[in-house]
Amino acid sequence: MAKKRRKLTQCPNCGYTFDDTNNYCPNCGQENHDLNVPVKHLIAEFLEGTLHFDTKVWKTLKYLILKPGLLSEKFNIGQRASYVPPFRLYVFVSLIFFFVLALTTKSTVQLQSTKGDKPVAALPGMTINANLADSLALAADSAKLEKLEEVAAAAEEMKALKTNIIQDERATLVAEKFSKFISNSEGSKQKLLKNISFMMFLLMPFFAWLLNLFYRKQGRNYVEHLMFSIHLHTFYFILLIISMLAGHYLPVPDLSGVVIGIMILYLFLALHRVYKQSYVRTLLRLIPIGFTYLITLAFFLVSTVFMSVLLS
């Protein structure tokens, strides 16, 4: 779709007089396009420039939602011009997802206050200077040897006590950071959303690597697996957007089971279409791929929350 330009007769940047064919100023390079228009025109142009917001985007979304794996298949065989580029579509949908997530979620964790002072270390750190090897060599009688053994035992006890104190101090520090993270619910939520978006960005190439591992005998390029991963996660974002909006604004029961079922079914159908294997072989691939993906996703989520708390 060609961009609809509102051309000027003279360049406002350098004063060059335009010809009718000038889309850019030959003198300074500025675009010959008047932006002094109502906001709705600017929004329309943003969507057009970002997604080519015409029949292309509707066709892309229709295939993405209703025909699992078809967009990845068309990308792999070179049919790309008729559809929104995968990464551009992912960025746009992910922005909507995190906006809806911030809009529909509220902090439900409350810190239970307890009476009493904060736990403090019972003893300061200490070191023991005792050269037991030299002492044992000099201990000639049993009385001295027994005394040194008592000192050594006491030293071990003090060392264990010191280790426990350090661990308690670290636990106290983590608890304080968690308390601070929970108390600042709005700021913590924004930080967590930012970190989760970065985590998902890292998860896509990992999932592509996972596909490359399980389908290495097909000799496909890594980019093909990456496009599959991008399309898959874009669909997952769309599905989560719909479920979050439905759960927030409509009196519907918990949709978690339905969403997980649709995710698994979509992945199964997409793998079958793109990698051209029978339903049985696709299922045998789906089980380890899905299990590994879920384990990795859980690890990434826990790590993201933990890092968000520590850096708060």
Q: Tell me the two tokens of residue 131.
A: 């050269």
125 falls within a domain: no
Last-in-domain residue among 182, 202, 219: 182
Nearest alpha carbon to residue 205 among 268, 293, 265:
293
119 falls within a domain: no
Query: Residue 246 pLDDT > 50, yes or no?
Result: yes
Query: Residue 267 pLDDT > 80, yes or no?
Result: yes
Clarify whether residues 106 and 207 are in a common domain: yes
Give mean pLDDT, residues 24-46.
Answer: 68
Ranked by mean pLDDT, which of 37-51, 88-102, 125-139, 163-177 comes out on top? 88-102
Q: Work out the angle at residue 172's Cα, subtended by the Cα atoms of residues 168 and 178, and round it to the nearest 5 degrees.
A: 145
Clarify whether residues 227 and 248 are in a common domain: yes
Number of domains in the chain: 3
Clarify whether residues 263 and 218 are in a common domain: yes
188-200: pLDDT as tens digits: 556 666 677 777 7
Specify the 3-state DSSP secondary structure of 136: helix
57 falls within a domain: yes
Clarify whether residues 273 and 212 are in a common domain: yes
122 falls within a domain: no
294 falls within a domain: yes
Domain of residue 18, residue span: 1-36
The label of the residue with tokens 């922005």 reads 95
Clarify whether residues 170 and 190 are in a common domain: no
Clarify whether residues 289 and 216 are in a common domain: yes
Clarify whether residues 195 and 96 are in a common domain: yes
Task: Tell me if the pTM is above 0.85.
Answer: no
Clarify whether residues 147 and 241 are in a common domain: no
Clarify whether residues 165 and 291 are in a common domain: no
Clarify whether residues 161 and 239 are in a common domain: no
Clarify whether residues 95 and 165 are in a common domain: no
41 falls within a domain: no
Is 181 or 71 the better-scoring residue by pLDDT? Answer: 71
Clarify whether residues 90 and 195 are in a common domain: yes
In three-state form (DSSP H/G/I as H, E/B as E, the rest C), the secondary structure along 205-231 is HHHHHHHHHHCHHHCCCHHHHHHHHHH
Are 285 and 278 contacting, i.e. CB atoms less than 8 angstroms apart? no
Q: Work out the angle at residue 91's Cα, subtended by the Cα atoms of residues 210 and 291, and round it to the nearest 5 degrees.
A: 25
At 103, the pLDDT band (50, 70, 90 cuts) reads confident
